[in-house]
Structure 1
Amino acid sequence: MKKILFAVVAFCMLQAGAFAQTNFEELTLEKALEKAKVGNKLVFVDTYTSWCMPCKYMANTIFPQKEMGDFLNSRFVCVKYNTEEGEGSEIMKRYGISAFPTFLILTPDGEVRHKIVGGSEATADFIKRVAEGLDEDTALGTLTRKYEAGERDVFFLAKYAKALLTIDDPKVLEIAGLLIENLNDAQRVDTTFWFVYEHPALTPVGSPNMEYLLANAARFQKSVGKERVNEKIATAFDVKLTNMITGRDRQSGLEVIDAIEKEMEAYEFPSKERLKMFAGIARAQRGGDIEKLLATCEKDIPRIEHEHLLAVFFPLSLTIKRNGNADQQARILALAKKLLAETTNDKFKFSLGQFIPYALEK
């Protein structure tokens, strides 16, 4: 009798364990769609690769959580595919997947209801992202079909643009542009549509959106808040100058730096002094004079918070190492060692510790 009772308890525990985590079934996509149709469910698809660390994190940390399993198992037929092999590679092509992990929510007919790109560090956050795919107002596939059917209401376009931003879809540039075109002057400074101006990809330095923002900064400050507007402008300048210093932007010349320096004077934000130094470094770099660039770095780099040097110091150092004379190479090495000895930023310390022997001491 005790053996029977133990067996029953063990069986129940196994059954409970089976549903305590996400139940990914070993089914072809066709079979998963058929099962979803019969069970009146949707299909949740996890597409991954063997080398993707966020994919492994989701598989080992998020999907085994009971809360995650309870949410997904009751609503979806869940399947996962390695896109490097078999059916997974075909699914990647069929649904235009180019980043990992990518999660699809499919209707039983195989149409994309929603797409999620990238994992989450917390279970609650990922549940929220999946839930957006169940909501008619935020499900990407639903919004896409409405747009293709001719929907052009500005509030709809705003929803669609926000959904596209969550997956970094380049189509957002088209939708955000159309949105701005359809807004009247009062709507353009309204908080509802501020996300267009706040996002760096939609409002970079030199774009029509940025020109409008700068020309109407006082109006935006009144509706959105002075601190938030100023921070957006500072961030845009920061990204532009950083891209110029690192070489991601090779087209912009000294006139762009002049314009940024002039515009900065009208605003107050915490990073202003650093951005002035970035402007000076970018100016010296564009001038092509290694001695001037090195002298500028020796003067300004030690005054910049190390967290902001992660992007810019390494390309600057390589420029001086490759194009400078022996004395200049020794000076940039000395500056790097000084920073290594002084930094308390773990990421910068690790990166600099790896960089010095392999790039500057050779």
Structure 2
Amino acid sequence: MKKILYVIAACFMLQTGAFAQTNFEELALDKALEKAKTEKKLVFVDMYTSWCMPCKYMANMIFPKVEMGEYLNPRFVCLKINAEEGEGVDIAKRYEIAAFPTFLILNTGGEVQHRIVGGSETAADFIKRVAEGLDEDTAIGVLAKKYGAGDRESMFLAKYAKALLAVDDQKVFEVADLLLENLSDAQRVDTAYWFVYEHPALTPVGSPNMEYLLANAVRFQKSVGEERVNEKIATAFDVKLTNMITGRDKQSGVEAIDAIEKEMEGYKFPSKPRLKMFAEIARAQRSGDIEKLLTTCEKNLPRIEHEHLLAAFFPLALTIKGKGDAGQQERMLALAKKLLAETTNDKFKFALGNFIPYALEKK
């Protein structure tokens, strides 16, 4: 009798798990749209590829969760579509899918109500992102229709720009520029529009937005707080110097480093000592002198918090490995091993532990 009860309980648990997880149906998109119309639902589409690791993470770790199924199943007809197979190829073209995973929320007419680009580490975060697609203040498709119909009210443009930033849509530059054009000088420093100046892509070092921010820093500090403004400026300098070190920015010369160092002096922020070291490293790198670069790295890299070396260290090491002589290469290897022995940052330890044997020890 106990065995029978155990089997029944086990079957019940399996059934519950099967129904609790996200119910992806094997339907063509047109059939899913028809079913959604009948059931008064929307269509949720997971656009993936076989080689996409974040796609696999979502499939294996997020969508099987009970809370995910409980949220999605009552609201959507859910589909998984491989963007490189069958009708997925045409669907990816139709909806201009450029990154994976991309998740679409479609109305029953097949129009995009919302899109989500990239996965989430937790079910709770992903549910929050899906919920934004059901809110007309954040659903990208709803906002796009209003914009297309000519809505240019400032608060609406702010909502649309924020939604575009959330899905990494390049149209945000157009909308943000139009928003700032609509604002008076007094409005531009209002907290409601600070997100434009705070975002690194919309306000990079050297841009008109950054020039305005620097020229009006005191006004912004009164509006949104000194710490937030200084941290934004510090982050912008950080990105600029890191891009120079990593090679993403190959155009800027020593004069750009000089300008950053001069500008930094007027602000207080905790990362200033590190940014000064980054500036020294970038200047040595721009000199083309490998010995100077290596000496600068030996002096500064052990003093920089290791989470900030994740981007900068590896291109520096490869430059010295590729252009240095045998003695300089050995010193770079010794520096890498020193950092590996000392680091407590798991990401840097993992990356450096794999980098050393394949890039620095390999002849």
Instruction: Tell me which interval the TM-score lies in, with the shorter structure as reference length.
Output: over 0.9
Counterpart for residue 36 of structure 1: 36
> In structure 1, what residue type is equivalent to 2:340?
L
Alpha-carbon distance in 2 for matches of 1:259, 1:311: 22
> In structure 1, what residue type is equivalent to 2:306?
H
> Where does 1:190-209 land on structure 2 (aligned, <5 Å)?
190-209=190-209
> Where does 1:9-28 land on structure 2 (aligned, <5 Å)?
16-28=16-28
Percent identity over the alignment is 79
Counterpart for residue 319 of structure 1: 319
Alpha-carbon distance in 2 for matches of 1:324, 1:9: 67
Structure 2: give runs of 5+ residues left out of the alignment.
none
Q: What are the Cα deviations for residues 207-228 of structure 1, in whole angstroms up to 9, with x where unaligned?
A: 0010111111111111111111
User: Aligned pair 1:94/2:94, yes or no?
Assistant: yes
Alpha-carbon distance in 2 for matches of 1:335, 1:296: 12
User: Aligned pair 1:278/2:264, yes or no?
Assistant: no
User: Aligned pair 1:288/2:288, yes or no?
Assistant: yes
Shift in Å, 1:35: 1.0
TM-score, length basis structure 2: 0.94
Provide closer, same or farther for how the CA distance between residues 23 and 349 of structure 1 changes in structure 2, counting only shifts above 3 A: closer
Alpha-carbon distance in 1 for matches of 2:205, 2:111: 38
Shift in Å, 1:341: 2.4
Alpha-carbon distance in 2 for matches of 1:139, 1:240: 32
Q: What are the Cα deviations for residues 45-90 of structure 1, in whole angstroms up to 9, with x where unaligned?
A: 1111122222222222222222222221211111111112111122
Alpha-carbon distance in 1 for matches of 2:241, 2:13: 59
> In structure 2, what residue type is equivalent to 1:39?
E
> In structure 2, what residue type is equivalent to 1:217?
A
Shift in Å, 1:39: 1.7
Q: Helix, strand or coil for the counterpart of 2:267?
A: coil
Shift in Å, 1:338: 2.1
Shift in Å, 1:14: 6.8
Alpha-carbon distance in 2 for matches of 1:241, 1:212: 20
Counterpart for residue 220 of structure 2: 220
Counterpart for residue 347 of structure 1: 347
Provide closer, same or farther for how the CA distance between residues 20 and 330 of structure 1 changes in structure 2, counting only shifts above 3 A: closer
Greater displacement, 207-216 / 60-69: 60-69
Counterpart for residue 137 of structure 2: 137
Shift in Å, 1:312: 1.1
Alpha-carbon distance in 1 for matches of 2:11, 2:337: 62
Q: What are the Cα deviations for residues 169-205 of structure 1, in whole angstroms up to 9, with x where unaligned?
A: 1111111111111111111111111111111001000
Provide closer, same or farther for how the CA distance between residues 10 and 163 of structure 1 changes in structure 2, counting only shifts above 3 A: same
Greater displacement, 14-23 / 232-241: 14-23
> In structure 1, what residue type is equivalent to 2:157?
L
Shift in Å, 1:33: 0.6
Q: What are the Cα deviations for residues 120-149 of structure 1, in whole angstroms up to 9, with x where unaligned?
A: 222222111111111111110011111111
Counterpart for residue 163 of structure 1: 163
Query: How big is the alpha-carbon RMSD for the aligned residues of Structure 1 and Structure 2?
Result: 2.2
Shift in Å, 1:331: 2.2
Q: What are the Cα deviations for residues 2-53 of structure 1, in whole angstroms up to 9, with x where unaligned?
A: xxx9999999777654532221111100001111112221111111112222
Alpha-carbon distance in 2 for matches of 1:351, 1:65: 30
Alpha-carbon distance in 1 for matches of 2:297, 2:60: 44
Shift in Å, 1:329: 2.2
Provide closer, same or farther for how the CA distance between residues 325 and 129 of structure 1 changes in structure 2, counting only shifts above 3 A: same
Greater displacement, 271-280 / 31-40: 31-40
Greater displacement, 109-118 / 33-42: 33-42
Q: Helix, strand or coil for the counterpart of 2:145?
A: helix
Alpha-carbon distance in 2 for matches of 1:321, 1:308: 21
Greater displacement, 284-293 / 27-36: 284-293
Structure 1: give runs of 5+ residues left out of the alignment.
none
Q: What are the Cα deviations for residues 100-130 of structure 1, in whole angstroms up to 9, with x where unaligned?
A: 1111111111000000111122222211111
Greater displacement, 20-29 / 193-202: 20-29
Q: How many residues align?
A: 360
Shift in Å, 1:360: 2.2
Greater displacement, 294-303 / 152-161: 294-303
Counterpart for residue 75 of structure 2: 75
Provide closer, same or farther for how the CA distance between residues 294 and 106 of structure 1 changes in structure 2, counting only shifts above 3 A: same
> In structure 2, what residue type is equivalent to 1:345?
N
Q: What are the Cα deviations for residues 223-279 of structure 1, in whole angstroms up to 9, with x where unaligned?
A: 111111111111110010000011110001111111100010011111100100100
> Where does 1:146-185 land on structure 2 (aligned, <5 Å)?
146-185=146-185
Q: What are the Cα deviations for residues 264-296 of structure 1, in whole angstroms up to 9, with x where unaligned?
A: 001111110010010011111111112221221
> In structure 2, what residue type is equivalent to 1:254?
V
